[in-house]
Amino acid sequence: MKKIFTLISLSSSLIWLSSCSKGSAFEGYAKADNGLYYKFYKHDENGEKPKIGYGVAFKFVIKTQAKDSVIVDSKNVSQDGTGITKFLLQKSSFQGSLEDGLLMMAKNDSASFIISADSFYFKTQNLKELPKGIAPGSYLNATIVLKDFFSQKQIEEMQAKQMEEQRVKMKEFEAKDSVDFAKYLSENKIKTKANPSGLIYIETKKGDGKHPSATDVVKVHYTGTLMDGKKFDSSVDRGQPAEFPLNQVIAGWTEGIQLMSKGGKAKLIIPSKLGYGPQGMGQTIPPFSTLIFEVELLDFKPAPPQPAAQPGAQQQQHSAGDGHNH
């Protein structure tokens, strides 16, 4: 599960426009003791303020100070489309930083802050050089609306609630798959006994010759569906057979295709523990999904020698349609 609050990351790949200040004072702005220039549009002076370590939720627009050109707007970078950015409020990265500005704000306050571009990019963003178009010694103007903030205790409670909701949701997926599995076998009059692993292998056309080994590269045509008949992937529809090392796919494929011979066809009923388990796969395969594959083994061959794996490298698991829907 993703953490509720993450550090904001502003893309340096955007085209930035330069700005420069012709003086040390900015009209309409007050100067705090830490050197931060600020101007409040709405301010609750007596309202509670966030503290270091709190989670803050706010909207922002950052512009060049001199030319008033938009650099980044939170409505264009927020993950949920609300325009609200969330992160843990850290100790100020420099005197007169945006962190200092947020510490001055109460809930629903709005204000503008003028900050050093050099300090923002080098100290807050930890960049090695200024983005293209930003001149050394220039300034940025950040307009912020503080929507909400949360103590560390509140964050922990929110995370615990999300984890519990996720756990309940996973149990519901698991229970539904179990019911649907029994219903699928009954409605399709499938009486084939499952392998010890849980895989149900049904041969629909006998092949000839040897069986592939787990390390072979196989060439297959296949169609994958969920138990409700919804198709999520098909090499047949693409008109292009899939070719892949048999030990680099989901466990149900590795086991099932080793039972086939060249030219053979089979139906693989793969329980979720041999497929994508509790995580599912993107938007196409829900968590705890039993997968149904119609497979034709066109050919197989020994895998070519592989270079030694780099330390820490992890093997990725795919189903047959590597590079496609899942």
The pLDDT value given to residue 140: 95
Q: 49 with 125, same domain?
A: yes
37 tagged catalytic: no
276 tagged catalytic: yes
Look at residue 260 and tell me if it is in a domain.
yes
Q: 145 with 44, same domain?
A: yes
Residues 200/194, Cβ–Cβ less than 8 Å? yes
Q: 47 with 137, same domain?
A: yes
Q: 138 with 226, same domain?
A: no
Q: Which of 233, 244, 270, 292 is catalytic?
A: 233
Q: Dmax of the chain from CA atoms?
A: 86
Per-residue model confidence as pLDDT tens for the chain (326 residues):
444 444 333 333 322 323 333 334 688 999 999 999 999 999 999 999 999 999 999 999 999 888 788 899 998 887 777 889 988 999 999 999 999 999 999 999 999 999 999 999 999 999 999 988 888 999 999 999 999 999 988 888 988 998 998 889 888 888 888 898 899 999 999 999 999 999 999 999 999 999 999 999 999 999 999 999 999 999 999 999 999 999 999 999 999 999 999 999 999 999 999 999 988 998 899 999 999 999 999 999 998 876 665 555 444 444 544 433 33
Q: 216 with 282, same domain?
A: yes
Q: 221 with 282, same domain?
A: yes
Q: 142 with 251, same domain?
A: no
Q: 84 with 133, same domain?
A: yes
293 tagged catalytic: yes
122 tagged catalytic: no
The pLDDT value given to residue 309: 56
Q: 297 with 239, same domain?
A: yes
Q: Residue 180, Cβ neighbours under 10 Å: how many?
A: 16
Look at residue 244 and tell me if it is in a domain.
yes
Report CA dihedral (273, 264, 242, 225) to the nearest 10 degrees. -50
The pLDDT value given to residue 310: 58
Look at residue 162 and tell me if it is in a domain.
no
Structural domain count of the chain = 2
233 tagged catalytic: yes
Rg of the chain on CA atoms, in Å: 29
Residues 6+ apart with CB under 8 A from 40: 109, 110, 111
Look at residue 213 and tell me if it is in a domain.
yes
Which structure tokens are listed for 287? Answer: 């968590």
How long a stretch of residues is the chain? 326
Q: Which of 5, 222, 244, 288 is catalytic?
A: 222
Q: Which of 144, 250, 257, 269 is catalytic?
A: 250
Q: 129 with 199, same domain?
A: no
CATH of the domain at 69: 3.10.50.40
Look at residue 5 and tell me if it is in a domain.
no
Q: Residue 248, Cβ neighbours under 10 Å: how many?
A: 17
Q: Which of 87, 232, 288, 300 is catalytic?
A: 232
Look at residue 280 and tell me if it is in a domain.
yes
Rounded Cα distance, 53 and 14, in Å: 30
Give the structural domain span for 56.
30-150
The pLDDT value given to residue 283: 85
| Type of residue found at 184 | Y
232 tagged catalytic: yes
Which structure tokens are listed for 315? Answer: 């093997």
